[in-house]
Amino acid sequence: MALQRHQNGMEADIARVLIDRERIAERVDELAREIAAAYPLAGDGIVIVPVLAGALIFVSDLIRRLPVKAQIRMLLASSYTGTSGAEPRILYGPGEQVRGRHVLIVDDILDSGRTLQAVVADLSRHEPASLRSCVLLRKPGKAPEGVAADFIGFDIEDVFVVGYGLDFNSYYRNWPDIAVLRPELYT
């Protein structure tokens, strides 16, 4: 590979890899099979709604392994910090395009659950035939019981992670593994 691992400007910021790219690829394969089995649909197929930008990398790998007829409709939620008190808002979404359809939300991580809750509330207004969700990562025990994902890639410890779509200040989304940054970078 031509990638210069020690000259890419990110390597030095990574403290440790939590889930490496090979393990991610295996699990994405399994998830695709689980999801396909849950949607024995013909006709219009399903509508996949990725939550941007965190789901960017995950959804692009997932949909290419998913043998289900699907439309992709983007959704953009405002980012927020857990301590700010501001609720996430839906800045852009599929609106009426989900009415009467089987909808699968795809997000990077289920943490406090506030983002998924806001997305579900927004899409529900347009009365989809069914509404399920898939997250790559979950920090167990943090979201309220009523806010649960139907398909989960990995449960992880309660640490801030980056890579494979997840960011810190919009950086590191293109790091191929799920990793933990060196703590001094957060301060």
Q: Please state at what angle helix 21-38 crosses helix 56-65, rounded to 10 degrees.
A: 60
Tokens of 66: 């998913």
Tell which one of 98, 119, 136, 166 touches ligand IMP (CB under 6 A): 166
Stretch that binds ligand IMP, among 6-14, 96-104, 126-134, 157-165 (CB under 6 A): 157-165
Note whether 110 binds ligand IMP by CB under 6 A: yes
With a CB cutoff of 8 Å and minimum separation 6, the contacts of 127 are 99, 100
Could you tell me the smallest distance in angstroms from the CB atom of residue 23 to Mg ion? 21
Nearer to ligand IMP, 23 or 114 (CB): 114
Note whether 173 binds ligand IMP by CB under 6 A: no
Nearer to ligand IMP, 49 or 110 (CB): 110
Instruction: Compute, in degrees rounded to 10, the torsion defined by CA atoms 170, 15, 175, 59.
Output: -80
For 111, list phi and psi in degrees, rounded to 5.
Answer: -110, -95
Q: What's the order of all strands across the beta sheet hosting 178-181?
A: 14-19, 178-181, 161-162
Note whether 28 binds ligand IMP by CB under 6 A: no
Nearer to Mg ion, 32 or 109 (CB): 109
Residues carrying an active site annotation: 111
Residues that bind ligand IMP (CB under 6 A): 54, 107-116, 160-162, 166
